[in-house]
């Protein structure tokens, strides 16, 4: 049976939700208004105060192998505590070139808000930068392409996925659910913090990244927020598991569901006859257990289920 969360965690979750609401720019959709107010909106999008924490600079330089070190250890979480396991550890190398690519390739450049708009050209350019574009009359909507981020992230974090698979074999556990518990406990142990919504290129141009740190950036920073950590979780599973992942989005929050057979007492959703066990990754919640207020919001259909 899943271990019950600490009583104070609902309050902590609410405090984190409040922090997310104070984030500088809405994360999921940028609505670009008609040309007459385009420049005003561009100024507001790219000059608001930063969120809690910005992007750290890149490592000074890779070593001769073109990589940099990643080392993370965690001693808590339901899997470790309930099975009386020793602290878990991942140590590997990450490709500096892939980190540079993700930092330079994802997001909406400020110049796009000022340029003329040919719908098909804009859609193609956006797709190359992990951004989806939709049109509604004279309005243009940008949103992060979660599938692009996960597919790019899959290759960027595969060394970490392999290390997690090896760590799981060393635990002596064998079930798919236990592997999910190990992977989720790894992601949960990464510090929660909100990235800036805007990064700047080497030429000084602002690029809106929807407040998302890509999977390799979360590993480099060793922190991320709800959507950034969920994207990392999905990218890791894409390397090691065939289990399908969905995102639940709403109330300025994002968490995941993993296809599986729920146990008694699990929180889950059902879509097209398929059940998805819910996992909150911002803190050390057991698989299938959500904070009470979050679970109530799911029951009231406050969250949209999205296939990344």
Give the model confidence (pLDDT) of 148-199 as tens digits. Answer: 999 999 999 999 999 999 999 988 888 999 999 999 999 999 999 999 999 9
Separation of alpha carbons 114 and 283, rounded Å? 40
Residue 58 scores a pLDDT above 60: no
- H or E segment and range at residue 121: helix 119-127
Separation of alpha carbons 119 and 204, rounded Å? 26
pLDDT averaged over every residue in the chain: 81
Taking 3-state DSSP, the helix, strand and coil percentages for the chain, each rounded to the nearest 5, stand at 40, 20, 40
Cα 157 from chain centre? 13
Residue 8 scores a pLDDT above 80: no
The predicted pLDDT at position 242 comes to 78
Instruction: Supply φ then ψ for residue 158, to 5 degrees.
Output: -65, -30
Query: Is the CA virtual torsion 105, 110, 111, 117 positive or negative?
Result: positive
The predicted pLDDT at position 80 comes to 59
Contact 66, 134 (CB under 8 A): no
For residue 296, how many other CB atoms are within 10 A of its CB? 11
The answer for residues whose C-beta is within 8 angstroms of residue 137's C-beta and 6 or more apart is: none
Per-residue pLDDT tens digits for 76-118: 766 655 656 677 889 999 999 999 999 999 999 988 866 556 7
Query: 237 in helix, strand or coil?
Result: helix
Poorest-confidence range of 20-24, 51-55, 84-88, 149-153? Answer: 20-24
Contact 102, 156 (CB under 8 A): yes
Separation of alpha carbons 71 and 54, rounded Å? 21
Contact 71, 65 (CB under 8 A): no
Contact 233, 150 (CB under 8 A): no
Separation of alpha carbons 224 and 202, rounded Å? 23
The HSE-up count of residue 55 (CA atoms within 13 Å, CB side) is 25
The answer for residues whose C-beta is within 8 angstroms of residue 263's C-beta and 6 or more apart is: 2, 288
pLDDT band at 33 (very low <50, low <70, confident <90, very high): very low
Q: What is the mean pLDDT of residues 205-223?
A: 94
Q: Which two tokens stand for residue 28?
A: 């999921």
Instruction: Supply φ then ψ for residue 293, to 5 degrees.
Output: -70, -35
Q: Is 261 exposed, middle or buried (0-12, 13-18, 19+ CB in 10 A)?
A: exposed
């Amino acid at each position: 049976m899943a271990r019950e969360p600490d009583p104070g965690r609902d309050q902590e979750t609410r405090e984190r939700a409040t922090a997310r609401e104070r984030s500088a720019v809405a994360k999921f959709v940028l609505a670009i208004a008609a040309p007459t107010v385009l420049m005003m909106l561009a100024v507001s999008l790219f000059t608001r105060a930063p969120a809690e924490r910005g992007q750290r600079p890149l490592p000074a330089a890779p070593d001769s192998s073109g990589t940099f070190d990643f080392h993370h250890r965690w001693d808590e979480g339901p899997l470790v505590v309930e099975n009386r396991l020793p602290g878990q550890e991942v140590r590997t190398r990450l490709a500096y070139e892939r980190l540079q690519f993700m930092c330079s390739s994802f997001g909406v450049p400020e110049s796009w808000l000022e340029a003329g708009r040919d719908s098909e050209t804009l859609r193609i350019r956006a797709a190359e930068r992990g951004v989806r574009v939709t049109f509604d009359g004279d309005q243009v909507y940008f949103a992060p392409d979660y599938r692009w981020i996960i597919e790019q992230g899959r290759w960027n974090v595969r060394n970490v996925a392999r290390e997690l698979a090896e760590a799981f074999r060393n635990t002596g556990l064998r079930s798919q659910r236990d592997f999910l518990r190990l992977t989720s406990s790894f992601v949960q142990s990464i510090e929660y913090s909100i990235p800036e919504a805007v990064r700047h290129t080497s030429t000084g141009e602002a690029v809106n990244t929807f407040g998302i740190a890509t999977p390799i950036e979360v590993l480099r920073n060793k922190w991320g927020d709800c959507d950034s950590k969920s994207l990392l979780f999905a990218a890791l599973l894409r390397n090691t598991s065939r289990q399908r992942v969905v995102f639940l989005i709403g109330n300025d929050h994002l968490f995941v569901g993993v296809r599986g057979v729920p146990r008694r007492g699990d929180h889950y959703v059902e879509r097209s006859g398929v059940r998805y066990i819910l996992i909150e990754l911002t803190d050390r919640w057991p698989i299938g257990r959500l904070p009470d207020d979050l679970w109530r919001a799911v029951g009231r259909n406050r969250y949209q289920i999205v296939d990344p």
